Copies of this chain bind each other. A is one copy, B any other.
Amino acid sequence: MLPYRPPVEDTMFLLKDVFKIHEDWARWSKFNEVDLDLAQAILEQGGKFAAEVMGPVSQTADQEGAKWHDNEVYAPSGYKEAFDGVVAGGWLSLNGNPEYGGQGLPAVLSIGVEEYFWGANTTLWLYASLTVGAAHCIDVFCDETTKANYLPPMYEGKWTGAMALTEAHAGTDLGLLRTKATPVDDGSYRIKGTKIFITSGEHDLAENIIHLVLAKLPDAPVGSKGISLFFVPKFLVNDDGTLGARNSFFSASIEEKMGIHGSATSTIVYDDAIGYLVGAPHHGLAGMFVMMNAARLSVGIQGLGAAERAYQMASDYVKERRQGKAVQRPPDSDTEADPIIEHPDVRRLMLIQRAFTEGGRAFALFVAHQIDRSRFAEAPEDQVQATKFVELLTPIAKAFLTDRAMDSTIHAQQCFGGHGYIRETGIEQLVRDTRITQIYEGTNGVQAWDLVRRKVLLNGGEYVAEFAEYMRTNNTEGPYKEVVEGYINEWLDCTKLIMERSSNTLEFAAGNAADYLELSGLVIYAWLWNQMSGANDEHLNKKYTAEFYFDRVLPKIPSLFAAIQNGTDSIQTPESAWF
């Protein structure tokens, strides 16, 4: 596998030239000390760590896989050393609460650098990434003692986090879960049940692992309103923060999977494990969503990181590999065959990747900045608005980033021809690894339904209207300004249609959700590409990709709208047994 090259220049271009994020930082008291120099230093350091420490053990880990033996789980060779580097570099504390050892930096920076970690080594970062959300959940819901004991080692990375939601019969539908929590006299609970697909639920890289577990109390109402959230440490934590006895849960097995072989996905058996309630009884989903929403954006960026890496590999290959003579040969061409980048169809594959990978980076950083804005903007109304935007955009970020990432890695693999199908070149690993991003943390179908149901219908389209207005107001001058206006209007029309057709039944909305999400993503990227194309850009030549995106990709918008307008009768008519 070729060395990973962190796209620091592109990230900086977005922060500085496109979004001018430093101007917000200067205004917001929380980030007064953060500036572009600091941002660049962090991105460069993170990128260097990703390239030099994480990247080199990615392919070997895929081949070796995580191992299970007698309920103990072992990460692949080299992961312990690399993970120690995550700890030493403080890479889990960037965004953490400074009162407990966090660095209190903007989310836009931790997310910016996280893309490099995902890109360099997806499965190594899977051992770390859920720690951030778990710590955030503890920070928001738990008492001082818990925070003081748990947050510092989690920020440090000596302890890691895991989310334990899924059971064999309860995936999307958490209301069906059966894991029980029984209160005991000391205020703790005994957790009993079996969870499956638990990423990093057990491994040998950290001193302790903090599970956030969904379970039902004895008096729980039926369904999703009866779910409570608990934190369940692998080793119990004494009052002074030292580690005590091992808690009674274990990994019963790890999964054989299509990809992310380096990551250990456990079945975890909780055998009256000691747990502690997070938030209010029966309101566990609210707590879990604090963690889950961060995880959803992170999964989007996981896809983005892999797609960027796949592009880099394809980029090297298509300039090196010579096959056939191009229809328009380069002026100095005197060889038997041209590099395949001279072939228009290969260029097309490369441009599709760039349109969605660079567009995706812009989108991810925009959402991340809105997370910061929702927490730290000076004006309360800005915080309110940004909160709406984050809610609206999170399902789009998760699903659209990962769907396009899957396409991108496949296009990159295609550029390699037969050499892309064999393991040696490493590109096929990226395809297999990326596939999970469309599935976990809520399938992309679930994201589409979250978007349409909760983020559009439940607020009567207010979030969409407000974000459309925001895009209009911030639509920079440039060749695509008016075209973008048109697409924004098409998005509003489509939103209106879905609302109108949802007064009696939700079938129209549900059947159209996925196409609506895709249409939304395409429109938002149109706005971002116009911004990028209009920004000061010394030599990145964003205008090339923008032109491709507007000419060749965006004609898809009217086709999606037409399909939506054609309705969902054809989806709902067949009896279920017919399928």
Please tell me if A315 contacts chain B, counting CB pairs below 8 Å: yes
Q: How far is the CA of A351 from the CA of B571 in the complex (A)?
A: 7
Whether, in the assembled complex, A28 has its beta carbon less than 8 Å from a beta carbon of chain B, the answer is no
From B318, B354, B414, B574, A541 is in contact (CB under 8 Å) with: B574
- Bound Cα distance from A544 to B575, whole angstroms: 10
Nearest CB of chain B from residue A36's CB, rounded to whole Å: 25
| The one of B327, B330, B449 that contacts A506, using a Cβ cutoff of 8 Å | B327
Does B257 lie within 8 Å of A421, measured CB to CB?
Answer: yes
How far in angstroms is the closest Cβ of chain B from A197?
5
- By a CB distance below 8 angstroms, the chain B residues around A171 are 323, 417-419
Q: How far is the CA of A346 from the CA of B572 in the complex (A)?
A: 11
Beta-carbon contacts of A557-579 to B below 8 Å, as 1s and 0s? 11110110011111111101111
A552 to chain B, nearest CB (A): 5
Is A428 interfacial (CB 8 A cutoff)? yes
Q: A422: which B residues are within 8 A, CB to CB? A: 255-258, 265
Within 8 Å by CB of A505, from B328, B576, B578, lies B328
B173 engages A324 (CB within 8 Å): yes
Residues of chain B within 8 A (CB-CB) of A432 are: 258, 432
Stretch of A66-74, A145-153, A507-515 contacting B (4+ beta carbons < 8 Å): A507-515
Total copies of the chain = 2
- Does A555 touch B at the CB level, under 8 Å? yes
Contacting pair A572 B445 (CB below 8 A):
no
A: interface residue count bin: 35 or more
The reply on A308 being an interface residue by CB < 8 A is no
A374 close to B (CB within 8 Å): no
CB contact list, A57-86 vs B, under 8 A: none
Partner of A418, one of B197, B345, B420, B578: B197
A172 and B323 form a contact (CB under 8 A): yes
Contact A414 B443 (CB under 8 A): yes
Given A432-B432, A571-B348, A573-B544, do A423 and B341 touch, yes or no (CB 8 Å)? Answer: no
8 Å CB contacts to B: which residues of A366-421?
Answer: 406, 410, 413-414, 417-421
Contacts of A315 in B (CB 8 A): 579
CB distance from A424 to the nearest CB of B (A): 7
Please report the C-alpha to C-alpha distance between residue A444 and residue B339 in the assembled complex, in whole angstroms.
Answer: 18
Give chain B nearest CB distance to A544 CB in angstroms.
Answer: 4
Q: Which A residues between 417 and 461 are near B, CB-CB below 8 angstroms? A: 417-424, 428, 431-432, 435-436, 438-440, 443-445, 448-449
A residues 178-194 with Cβ under 8 Å of B? none
> Across the interface, do A337 and B417 meet the contact criterion of CB distance under 8 Å?
no
A220: min CB distance to chain B, Å: 14
Which residues of B sit under 8 angstroms from A265, Cβ to Cβ? 422
Known: A347-B572, A350-B579, A551-B569. 6 other contacts (CB 8 A): A222-B336, A315-B579, A347-B571, A418-B439, A547-B573, A553-B563
Chain A residues engaging chain B, CB cutoff 8 angstroms? 166, 169-173, 175-176, 196-197, 222-223, 255-259, 265, 315, 318-319, 322-324, 327-328, 330, 336-337, 339, 341-351, 354, 406, 410, 413-414, 417-424, 428, 431-432, 435-436, 438-440, 443-445, 448-449, 505-507, 509-511, 513-514, 541, 544, 547-548, 551-553, 555-560, 562-563, 566-574, 576-579
Q: What 9 pairs between A and B have smallest CB-CB spacing?
A: A344-B511, A559-B559, A555-B562, A327-B506, A258-B428, A548-B570, A551-B566, A173-B323, A344-B510
